[in-house]
Every structure is written in C-alpha cells, then in structure tokens.
Amino acid sequence: MPERKQLVAGNWKMNGARADGIALAREIAEWAKEPHACELLVCPPATLLVAVGEALGGEALTGGDVRLGGQDCHAAASGAFTGSISAEMLRDAGCSHVIVGHSERRHGCGESDADIRAKALAAWRAGLIAIVCVGETLVEREAQIALAVVAGQLAGSVPDGATADRLIIAYEPVWAIGTGLTPTKRDIAEMHKAIRGHIPAGTRILYGGSVNPKNAAGILALPEVDGALVGGASLKAEDFWAIARACT
C-alpha cells in the first residue's frame, strides 16, 4: 500500500499558448526546487504536454520534482476518433497521470459513469494513474443527497480491480468549481470520510473547488484530505506554490 503523501495537482483547463505554458512550467519547476512536503502535478492542455514536460526538466514520467498529467483520454488505444487522445498517447508524451470524469466533462460533455469507468481502465492499460473526479451539484447538495450522489458516481466510475497505487479520487462539488465558493470544513471532512468507505484502503482523495492560497491550509489540514486539485490558482506559479507549501 503506497503512502498517502499529499498531492497538489494543477488543472490548467483550456488555458495557455505555448510561450505562456513554457514560462509557467519553468517557474513552477524553480519553486519546486525548494523543500516541500507534497507531490506536484501539472495538467496542461494537450497541445502543451510535450513542451511543458520539457520545461519541467524532462523527468515528469520518471519521478522528477513535478509530474505531468493529461486532462482527459479516450477509452480506445487508437482508431477513428477525430479530436480525441488515447491514454497511450499521453504516456508517450511523458504523462504519469490523467484526469477522468471532471464535472466539466460529466455535465458539459454528457459523460456517464460508464464512460468514465472505461477511461479509467484505459489509463491503467497505458500505465497511467487515473484521477477520477466525483461531486454533487448545488441542487443535490440542497436536497441533502450529496453523499448518495457521490457514492453512486464512485460505484459507477471506479473499475473493479482498483488499487491505491493507480487510483486517485478528486472530490469536486460542482457548485464550488470556479465560483469562489467552498463547502464548510465539516462538509468536506464528512464527504471525504464517506468516500473513504467506497475505495481501496490507502487511496488518496483530493479536494477541488476554488482552492486558493487563502483557504488551502485549512482544507489540507483535514485528516482525510490527501491534497488538492487546483483550477484557476494553478495558472499562477506563486499561488500554486503557496498551496503546495500549505501541505502537512
């Protein structure tokens, strides 16, 4: 069973031209030379993967200071899927992780739990760690069914045979992503504890949803929180590093 070392992952989403991405990656790599208590991961747009990997020092896959991840993958290894990227392609570009099932894919692209399960299996097939995202909407939170919704997502999205060394769960309440809103610490702790009961022992659970330098320390200090999946704040190296420094 791997150690539950905290992980801070930056999801750059659809942001960054080549020059911007390289500059950001180099700045993060410089910060990462300082002592830190967590693992670091950046997930740039697919167009920047190779360039960012090189800017990070070319060691993202083999255990450098900052790892490289993809934002999504197709379930198939290859084929007539215009515009899609396979997990094998991500691996070839230097990735060690891939995000699957982000709420922007679930709700914006109509991806089902079955779709996400297939993508997680594809990640494992290619030797990647799958970061499976789950989270409730505001309507579901207000209806007091958030725990049941997330439990259902886990049951449908996490494949059989999951192990702590190739699976990470990211809990991202949909209503908190990019809004500046966050659940209370009690709500976060309750959800993370509930998720723990549905996944293999030792699996890391990240919190995501408007994580920033001001609230990171309080969130990362919660005993069931194993790191953060950071959106907007990951686009500024100083903010991303401030969150990393908040790890316990």
Nearest to 146 by CA among 156, 136, 138, 155: 136
The verdict on whether 27 is a catalytic residue reads no
Count of all residues that appear for the chain in the document: 248
- Cα–Cα distance between 121 and 125 in angstroms, integer? 6
Instruction: Tell me the one-letter amino acid at 25.
Output: A
Contact criterion met (CB below 8 Å) for 3 and 37: no
Contacts of 41 (CB under 8 A, 6+ apart): 7, 8, 9, 10, 66, 67, 68, 69, 96, 97
Question: What six digits make up the tokens of 107?
Answer: 């709700």
Catalytic residue (one of 39, 104, 111, 172): 172
The verdict on whether 140 is a catalytic residue reads no
Catalytic residue (one of 102, 104, 111, 140): 102
- Cα–Cα distance between 99 and 68 in angstroms, integer? 11
Helix (H, G, I), strand (E, B) or coil at 153: helix
Instruction: Tally the C-alpha atoms within 13 A of residue 81's C-alpha that lie toward its C-beta.
Output: 10
Instruction: Point out the residues that are catalytic.
Output: 102, 172
